[in-house]
Amino acid sequence: MHRTTPKILVVDDETDALDLISFNLRGAGYEVITADAGLEALKKAKEALPDLILLDLMLPEVDGFEICKRLRREPSTEKIPIIMLTAKAAEIDRVLGLELGADDYITKPFSPRELNLRVKNILRRNTQKNEPQDYFEVDELIVDIPRYMVTVDKKEINLTATEFKLLTVLLQRRGRVQSREQLLRDVWGYDSLIDTRTVDTHMRRLREKLGNSARHLDTVRGIGYRFNDVK
């Protein structure tokens, strides 16, 4: 069941920030619910099942990292997109947030226009993600999953099973950064993490085989990889 108006849960313990974010989102046409503490945020997320959560990191009771971790463990909330909002700009915080399953990360202060654009993009991406897709055409690159075929400039590219799975996972999540740890789980099926250089090695081989189309495979320093279809 799809809501006509997306519902967004905003979590922040600073009243001014909560009011400002809520005001701007309502002005952009979204339904907004709020929480100013960790336990309240978990409760409202499970009850309301919002389309998106804007989550501050520094919260009383339970911090944003732990909230993100718990939401990703719950079947009812595991697929809700999460944008982390925080004054902590250190790379380690961004990496940890993304590894725990956040979809995006915005550091304070930020402009209402930037926030609205990020929210719009995540909601659109999530809608697309819920629609199964097994055929991709990005510039000269074509990937046909049912036929197990990849072509670049109409020439078929021979990929190993792992390289093919790696490419299709990145394509199906295009625009979203995938950590090396996440790729190890989703492509290789490893529950316990082994040397993440395995991912780097396969990415290097995949890029070599894709030639000019490899420009769509971004390395996100300190985190992992992303398929960018706008290049």
| Token pair belonging to 177 | 């950064």
Q: How far apart are CA 44 and CA 115, in angstroms?
A: 22
* Contact of 162 with 187, CB cutoff 8 Å: yes
| Residue-wise pLDDT tens digits, 21-58 | 999 999 999 999 999 999 999 999 999 999 999 999 88
How much is the pTM?
0.57
Asked if pLDDT for residue 192 goes beyond 60, the answer is no
SS3 152: strand
> What is the radius of gyration, based on Cα positions, of the chain?
19
* Contact of 41 with 77, CB cutoff 8 Å: no
Is residue 175 very low, low, confident or very high in pLDDT (cuts 50, 70, 90)? confident
| Token pair belonging to 104 | 């995006």
pLDDT (0 to 100) of residue 92: 67
| Residue-wise pLDDT tens digits, 8-18 | 999 999 999 99
| CA triple 72-77-80, angle to 5 deg | 90
| Token pair belonging to 96 | 């940890």
Return all residues near 188 (Cβ < 8 A) that are at least 6 apart.
162, 198
| CA triple 13-89-105, angle to 5 deg | 70
Asked if pLDDT for residue 216 goes beyond 80, the answer is yes
Query: What sign for the dihedral angle of Cα 40, 94, 204, 133?
Result: positive
